[in-house]
Structure 1
Amino acid sequence: MLDDMDRRLLRYWQAEPSLSPGELAERCGMTPGKAARRIAKMEDDGIVQGVSAVVNWAALGYAVEVSLRVTLDKTQSNAFDAFLAEARQVPEVIEVQTFLGRVDVRLSIIARDMAHYQQIYRSRILTLPHISDIEALMQVARIKSEQTLPI
């Protein structure tokens, strides 16, 4: 699927996402056109799904992050779909994951402070449909958060 040159491009790009195709080409020892074509192919193949800015939520005043483990009432046939559709609409929910097992869904929520979190929890989270059980885990520290792959 990927050859050595593709892997080299990805290693440099992951290390410095702001590099242009020309800069990547120079570092990889290829022409800018060839680098651009390889990048476009990786995008077309779904290997690269875009370049995004990483926002430091704490720098914007969001000091609290809470992980909610949610178990849904699965006696309703549309429980997952209805819950997920409404959870996506809560702006402070920055991540939604689904699981197999006792916990069905995990929500990551950011808030300015505990009072703001309590407001979000009471007015936006507890009103989501089909919740059977919910457990909150308050994040104390982020030790590792890595998006790069060892290519």
Structure 2
Amino acid sequence: MKELDRLDRKILRALQQEGRLSNIELAEKVNLSPTATAERVKRLTRDGYITGYMAILSPERLGRNLLVFVQIKLDRTTPDVFDTFAEAVRQSDNVMECHMVAGGFDYLVKARVAGMEAYRTFLSDVFLSLPGVRETHTYAVMEEVKSTGWIPV
């Protein structure tokens, strides 16, 4: 895998900022020919630096007003409990992110739901019904101060 140079980094920054740039617009932003730009984007994708593109949607417009973080503690940390938990999380449309963590609990989950009633249903249907879940702690977000997927390049 080739080391990232200054132009690769400029391309990555530009695409993070606006993933819908045409190749010509991107080439102008990074001061390269469209052909050279397209080749670099192909290489960056092939090498795994670019993993996909997506639109950023409005949770409010889509009726997903409540953002919650949930700490999950398991009573057993065995492969079957981990697998069952992971599969339940993958099946839930409400879960945006789920991370196995080191520390005082096992998983940190970020989820979006319509409101508190929908959250109660989600909590009981997805987590509390699973074998191995010992306790949960929920943190409802009152204000999103910063939310970004930006990675410094």
**Superposition pairs for residues 14-25 of structure 1, below 5 Å?**
14-25=16-27
Contact conserved, 1:68 with 1:134, CA < 8 A, in 2? Answer: yes
- Per-residue CA deviation, residues 125-144 of structure 1 (Å, 9 max, x unaligned), is 21123102211111111111
Contact conserved, 1:73 with 1:79, CA < 8 A, in 2? Answer: no
The number of equivalent residue pairs is 151
AA partner of residue 135 (structure 2):
D
1:142 aligns with 2:148: no
Gaps of 5+ in 1: none
* Distance of 1:23 and 1:75 partners within structure 2: 50
- Per-residue CA deviation, residues 42-88 of structure 1 (Å, 9 max, x unaligned), is 11111111111112212211111111100112254422122111121
Partner of 1:13: 15
Runs of 4+, deviation exceeding 4 Å: none
Is the deviation greater in 76-85 or in 136-145? 76-85
Contact conserved, 1:93 with 1:108, CA < 8 A, in 2? Answer: yes
Gaps of 5+ in 2: none
**TM-score, normalization by structure 2:** 0.90
Going from structure 1 to structure 2, the CA distance change for 1:147 and 1:69 (only over 3 Å counts) comes to same
**Superposition pairs for residues 16-35 of structure 1, below 5 Å?**
16-35=18-37
* Distance of 2:92 and 2:147 partners within structure 1: 23
Partner of 1:131: 133
Going from structure 1 to structure 2, the CA distance change for 1:53 and 1:75 (only over 3 Å counts) comes to closer
Give the superposition deviation at 1:110. 1.6
Contact conserved, 2:127 with 2:133, CA < 8 A, in 1? Answer: no
* Distance of 2:117 and 2:151 partners within structure 1: 37
SS in structure 2 at match of 1:106? strand
- Per-residue CA deviation, residues 9-59 of structure 1 (Å, 9 max, x unaligned), is 122222222101111112212111110110111111111111111122122
Identity across matched positions, percent: 29
SS in structure 1 at match of 2:73? strand
Partner of 1:4: 6
Aligned with 1:101 (options 87, 100, 103): 103
**TM-score, normalization by structure 1:** 0.91
